[in-house]
Amino acid sequence: MNNEKRVVALCGNPNVGKSTVFNALTGLKQHTGNWAGKTVELSYGKYEYNDAEYTVVDLPGTYSFSARSHEEKIARDFICSNKADVVVVVCDATSLERNLNIVFRTMELSDKVIVAVNLLDEAQKKHIDIDLDGISKMLRITVVGMSARSGKGIEELKCAVEKAINEDGEENQREKEQETLTVNEIYERAREICGKYVKQTDNRATNRQLKADRLLTNKYFGIPVMLAGLALILWITVSGANYPSQVLSSLLLGLEDEITSVFEFLHMPLWLTQMLTEGGYRVLAWVVSVMLPPMAIFFPLFTLLEDAGYLPRVAFNLDGCFKHCCACGKQALTMCMGFGCNAVGVVGCRIIDSKRERLIAIVTNCFMPCNGRFPTLIAIITMFFVGSAGGLLSSVLSSLMLVMIIVCGVLATFWVSKLLSKTLLKGIPSSFTLELPPYRRPQFGKVIVRSIFDRTLLVLSRAACVAFPAGIVLWIMANVNIGETTLFAYCTAFLDPFAKIIGLDGVILLAFILALPANEIVMPIIIMGYMASGTISQMPNLSQLHGLLVTNGWNMTTAICTMLFSLFHWPCSTTLLTVKKETGSLIWTLASAVIPTLLGIVVCAVVTLVFRIIA
C-alpha cells in the first residue's frame, strides 16, 4: 500500500448531507443531525482506494468563510492551512443555487476543489433535472452527482478525489479575477448556472412542503401543533415504558440473591455484602429499570423528528421569544435536547456562537425536565391528579399534565434568560442563519441504531456510573446511627423546618439532595425514608404508594410543590460535570445549580403560602 498521506476535506452548507457523505466514505457512524451548525468540531476518518489510504476531515457546516462564527473560522482556517490535498464541497441538489455560494468561496481558497451534488434522489422526487456535465464545464472543476444515504456516487467521488490529487494542479487553477468576486457577482453567476443547467418540471413536491410549513411555522398554529406533537410523544413514552420497566425491574432485582450468594461464597463480611447488594446494586438496578425503557422509546421518537427535518421548525417558532429575551434562537434546539438528558443539551450549546448567549443556554438548560425526572412526575400526577381515570384516559391526562409542566419550564427558561441578559450577561441578541431543510423520510433503521448507541446507552452509562456509589452512600446513611437515630433520620429532622416552608418535608428534601447523582432515585429514597427501612425499596403498586404518602402527611400542596421542585432544582451531577467541562468555570457551574434552586425555593414557598391562605 502507498503510505503517502492524502487528506480530503469535506465542506458545505448545513443540511446538505455532508456528514452522511463522511459516513459513507469512512464507514464511521457519525451523527447526522438535521439542523444548522450541528458539527462544531473536526471529525476524522479513513478509507482505502486503489491501495492508497485517504484521511477524510469533516469540517463544520457553514454558509461562508467570513470567520464571524466558530464554525466559519474552523472551516476557513483548515482550508487556508493547505493541509488538505483536495476539498470536496457537498451541495444539496434541491437547493443548488444557494449552495453555489460556498463553492465559489472555496475555489478562491483552494486550488483543488471537487463539487459533490448530493441528495439527487430528493431532487428526482421533486422533478428537478440537473446537467452535471454542463455545470462542471462552466465551473471548470469536477462535479460528481450522488445520493450518499443509499451509497450512490461514492465510488465516483473516490475516483475523482484520486484523479485530482494525482494531477499536477493545473486543471484546477482559477482565473485571477475570480478571486475578487463580489457577493453580487457570485449570486449572479449562481443564478446563471442554475438557470441554464437546473430545470424543475413539476412543482407539486415543493408546493406540498410549502403547505406543510404554512401550518408548522404558522404564527398562530405553529406552537399549538408543536405542543400537540410533544404530548403525543410523551403519551407514547409513558404508555409504552410501563410494562418493560416492570419486567426489567423484576429481572434485575431477581439477580440480587444470586449476587449475594457469590459474595457469601467469597466469605465477604455481611455488612460489605449488604452495602454492595442492598445499597449499590439495588439503586443501580432501579435506575436502569426506570430509565432505560422510556429513553429507548423517547430518543428514537425524538430522533425521527430530527431526521425528518422538524427541529429547525421548532427553532423558527421560538426564535422570536428568545430574541425578545436577548438570547439566541438556536437555544430552542439545545432546549429540545434537554428533554432526553440535560447533559446532552449542555453539550449541544456548542452550536451557539456567542459566548454570552451560550452561557445563557447552558445555565437555563436544566429547566427542561430530563428523562430522569419523568418517573417522579408521572407517579405523582397519576396518584394525586388522574388516579381515578381509566388506563387510556389516565395516560392521556398524564401526558397533558406533563406538557403543562414542560411549558412551565419553557416559560422559566424565557424569564431567566432575559434576567441574565439584563444583569450578569448583558448584551443584544446575535443574528444567525436558520435554514429550513426539506422534509425527508426518516431512515428508521439508522435512527433506531443511532438513538440507542449515541444517546440511550451513552446517557444510561453516565447515570449508572454515579448510581452505584450513590446507592452505597444511601445505604451508609440508612444504617449508620448517631446515638439511637440513623444518619438518614438525623438529616431529615434537621431539614424538616425549612422543607415545611416550601411545601415539602425533610424526607422529600433529603431525597432530592441524595439523588444528585441520578434524579431517578428520588421516589425510592422517599419510600425508604417513610418506611424507616435500611435499604431502598419499591412499592408493589401506585395505590399502596399513595397510601404511604398520605399517611406521612402528603396532600395536594405537597404533591404540587414536589413536582415544582423536581422541575426547579439543581441539575444532576452528570450535568454539572458537563457544565464545568463546557464552560471551564467553577463559578458558572455553581450558577447552573444555584439559579434553578433559588427559583424552585421561591416558587414552592409562594405556592405553599397561597394554599395555606385559601385553606
Angle at 11 between CA 5 and CA 16, to 5 degrees: 135
Confidence (pLDDT) at 31: 44
Confidence (pLDDT) at 179: 53
Return d(Cα 115, Cα 137) in angstroms, integer.
Answer: 12
Looking at the chain, how many residues does it have? 615
Confidence (pLDDT) at 211: 85
What cell was used for 427?
Answer: 448584551
Tell me the β-bridge partners of 199: 129
Return d(Cα 148, Cα 119) in angstroms, integer.
Answer: 7
Residues 6+ apart with CB under 8 A from 251: none
Return d(Cα 305, Cα 371) in angstroms, integer.
Answer: 17
Write the DSSP symbol of residue 93. Answer: G
In terms of Cα–Cα distance, which of 220, 211, 222, 462 is closest to 332? Answer: 222
Does pTM top 0.85 for this prediction? Answer: no
Return d(Cα 58, Cα 80) in angstroms, integer.
Answer: 15
Angle at 589 between CA 584 and CA 595, to 5 degrees: 150
Return d(Cα 498, Cα 558) in angstroms, integer.
Answer: 14
- Rounded to 5 degrees, what are φ and ψ at 48? -115, 140
- Give the number of other Cβ atoms within 10 Å of residue 1's Cβ: 8
Does position 502 have pLDDT exceeding 50, yes or no? yes
Return d(Cα 511, Cα 521) in angstroms, integer.
Answer: 8
3-class SS at 390?
coil
Q: Specify the higher pLDDT residue, 134 or 43.
A: 134
Q: Side chain identity at 38, as an amino acid letter?
A: K
What cell was used for 370?
Answer: 430530563
Predicted confidence band of residue 375 (pLDDT cuts 50, 70, 90): confident
Does position 19 have pLDDT exceeding 70, yes or no? yes
For the segment 67-82, what is each residue's pLDDT rounded down to a tens digit?
566 667 788 888 888 8
Confidence (pLDDT) at 178: 47
Cα–Cα distance list, 554 to 384, 503, 508, 530, 545 (Å): 10, 10, 10, 11, 11
In terms of Cα–Cα distance, which of 229, 464, 454 is closest to 348? Answer: 454
For the segment 88-120, what is each residue's pLDDT rounded down to a tens digit?
999 999 889 888 989 998 998 888 999 999 989
What cell was used for 122?
Answer: 430528493
Alpha helices in 126-255 (DSSP H): 132-139, 154-166, 183-197, 204-216, 222-254
Query: Would you say domain 2-202 falls under CATH 3.40.50.300?
Result: yes
C-alpha of 388 from chain center: 35
Does position 271 have pLDDT exceeding 60, yes or no? yes
Write the DSSP symbol of residue 17. Answer: S
Q: Where are the domains of the chain?
A: 2-202, 222-429+445-614
Predicted confidence band of residue 39 (pLDDT cuts 50, 70, 90): very low
Please say whether the beta carbons of 154 and 148 come within 8 A: yes
End-to-end CA distance of the chain: 82
What cell was used for 561?
Answer: 410543590
For the segment 446-485, what is each residue's pLDDT rounded down to a tens digit?
777 777 776 677 767 766 777 788 888 888 888 888 888 8
Q: Specify the higher pLDDT residue, 279 or 28.
A: 279
Confidence (pLDDT) at 432: 60
Output the average pLDDT for the chain. 83
Cα–Cα distance list, 25 to 29, 231, 279 (Å): 11, 39, 48
Return d(Cα 450, Cα 159) in angstroms, integer.
Answer: 29
Confidence (pLDDT) at 311: 78
What is the residue whose three cell numbers read 473560522?
73
Confidence (pLDDT) at 172: 45
For the segment 376-393, what is each residue's pLDDT rounded down to a tens digit?
888 888 888 876 555 666
Cα–Cα distance list, 131 to 134, 161, 193, 200 (Å): 5, 21, 10, 12
C-alpha of 10 from chain center: 24
Q: Specify the higher pLDDT residue, 364 or 397.
A: 364
For the segment 548-599, what is each residue's pLDDT rounded down to a tens digit?
899 999 999 999 999 999 999 999 888 998 899 889 999 999 999 999 999 9
* Percentage of residues of the chain with pLDDT beyond 70: 88
Does position 36 have pLDDT exceeding 70, yes or no? no
